[in-house]
Amino acid sequence: MAERDYRYVIIGGGLAGGSAVEGIRKQDADGSILLICGEKHLPYDRPPLTKKLWFGKKQVEEIFLHDQQWYAAHGVDAALATEVTSLDPARRTLTASNGGTYRYDKLLLATGGTPRRLDIPGGDLDGICYYRYLDDYLKTRSAAAEGKSAVVVGGGFIGSEIAAALNINKLEVTMVYPGPYLVDRVFPEYLGRALQELYRSRGVAILSGDAPTSFEKAGGRFLTTTRNGKRIESDLLIVGIGIVPTMNLAQAAGLTIENGVAVNELLQSSTPDIYAAGDVACFPYQALGKRMRVEHWDNAINQGLHAGRNMAGAGEPFTYMPYFFSDLFEFGYEAVGDVNSKLETFADWHKENDTGVIYYLSEGKVRGAMMCNVWEKVEAARELIRRGERMSPDHLRGAIR
């Protein structure tokens, strides 16, 4: 296949990559674009995979950012089910698994992350779902019949959401995770333990402070053995223990790596013609005054849009403060900033462990906020973080209503 030239090449067909197309087109209506997607699907919205799709609030066809006709109408070539096999920054070329060689003027790495896998006996058994992609949802949804049983390994965002979804769909669910309580990297202990009891009250079996040591499979069913000696049989086995940023191309190309692909305020890597956005990018988080890598959908969308605009010449620093949200049974929340359970917290409850705002503090300054069953207050929380002022509990009571 002859070498083809594009003004813009986007590697990665997730939210960041799909949003970058929109960003480019806001700035450049005509420049040629190639979108390379490792999945066989066009870019889609990922949160519904553990939320609305399970409750009939969305259909699969509704989660795609755009259909094939939109990309064609906007002059975008999409190479689906295609991996980039090599990248040469000096020549501004790349080769792909479809046999193509492509030259670019500007390149975006929106390669996202790969699910962490368990390096234990049976960790690679056929049928274990390391949950992340649309195909994982489709396969799991078809198998998740009422009355079936499921083991969910992981107590973070993915594990907590998929366990709740399966329980609501009337499966018998057992959760196994090493942390002392649910979502322990984010929730302060009092909230994490309260939600853990909520899960138990809904019939979810919780094995916290534990971890699988082996998986076996016989007769179409799984057997999970844990460190604490538990043995659980199940029809489904789902693992959601986070992701590893996909950096093989960046590393091979000699880009600077810093818990991800290091980028500047314009989202440029150490090679200025190569940008990075989304789960893979370690960027200067202006409001917090530190470099971070953020794995949430809102960051992927807005960083992708911004990177696309800058690739097309906008030259604007990325100053956006991304937020994220989750729904765990009747407990829902939105959060922004640094919501790290290691920080000091102050809770302004209307109803304890149910409705109110949790502030995450460092040296008396608000670094993050979680609005629990309190909605449309993300911008108010952003303003408190931006102000960077020392605030006492008296100042924080009622600061966000």
Q: Are residues 122 and 227 in the same domain?
A: yes
Q: Are residues 102 and 132 in the same domain?
A: no
Q: What are phi and psi of 211, to 5 degrees?
A: -155, 150
pLDDT at 215 over 70: yes
pLDDT at 145: 96
Contact yes or no for 77/58 (Cβ under 8 A):
no
CATH of the domain at 349: 3.30.390.30
DSSP helix/strand/coil, 51: coil
Q: Are residues 133 and 220 in the same domain?
A: yes
Could you tell me the pLDDT band of residue 401, with boundaries at 50, 70 and 90? Answer: confident
318 found inside a domain: no
319 found inside a domain: no
Q: What are phi and psi of 349, to 5 degrees?
A: -90, 140
Q: Are residues 256 and 223 in the same domain?
A: no
Mean pLDDT of the region 39-68: 96
71 found inside a domain: yes
Mean pLDDT of the region 170-187: 97
From residue 272, alpha-carbon distances to 13, 107, 283 in Å are 22, 9, 14
Q: Which helix (H) or strand (E) holds 333?
A: strand 331-337
Q: Are residues 91 and 130 in the same domain?
A: no
Could you tell me the pLDDT band of residue 1, with boundaries at 50, 70 and 90? Answer: low
Strands (E), 191-273: 205-208, 212-218, 221-226, 231-234, 236-239, 243-245, 261-262
Query: 290-317: per-residue pLDDT in tens?
Result: 999 999 999 999 999 999 999 999 999 9
Q: Are residues 147 and 213 in the same domain?
A: yes
Could you tell me the pLDDT band of residue 3, with boundaries at 50, 70 and 90? Answer: confident
Q: Which two tokens stand for residue 60?
A: 């699969």
- Count of structural domains within the chain: 3
Of 39, 46, 41, nearest to 68 by C-alpha is 41
CA atoms of 338 and 348, how far apart (whole Å)? 18
Query: 230-283: per-residue pLDDT in tens?
Result: 999 999 999 999 999 999 999 999 999 999 999 999 999 999 999 999 999 999
Q: Are residues 11 and 78 in the same domain?
A: yes
159 found inside a domain: yes
Q: What are phi and psi of 367, to 5 degrees?
A: -105, -20
Q: Are residues 215 and 356 in the same domain?
A: no
Q: Are residues 103 and 252 in the same domain?
A: yes
Q: Are residues 265 and 167 in the same domain?
A: no
25 found inside a domain: yes
325 found inside a domain: no
| Maximal C-alpha separation, the chain | 68
401 found inside a domain: no
CA atoms of 147 and 169, how far apart (whole Å)? 9
Q: Which of 259, 282, 311 is where one domain is finished?
A: 311
Domain carrying residue 45: 4-114+243-311
DSSP helix/strand/coil, 296: coil
Query: 71-97: per-residue pLDDT in tens?
Result: 999 999 999 999 999 999 999 999 999
Q: Are residues 62 and 80 in the same domain?
A: yes
189 found inside a domain: yes
Mean pLDDT (the chain, rounded)? 96
DSSP 214-226: EEEEETTEEEEEE
Could you tell me the pLDDT band of residue 2, with boundaries at 50, 70 and 90? Answer: low
Query: 326-367: per-residue pLDDT in tens?
Result: 999 999 999 999 999 999 999 999 999 999 999 999 999 999
Q: Are residues 218 and 307 in the same domain?
A: no
Mean pLDDT of the region 188-196: 97
CATH of the domain at 204: 3.50.50.60
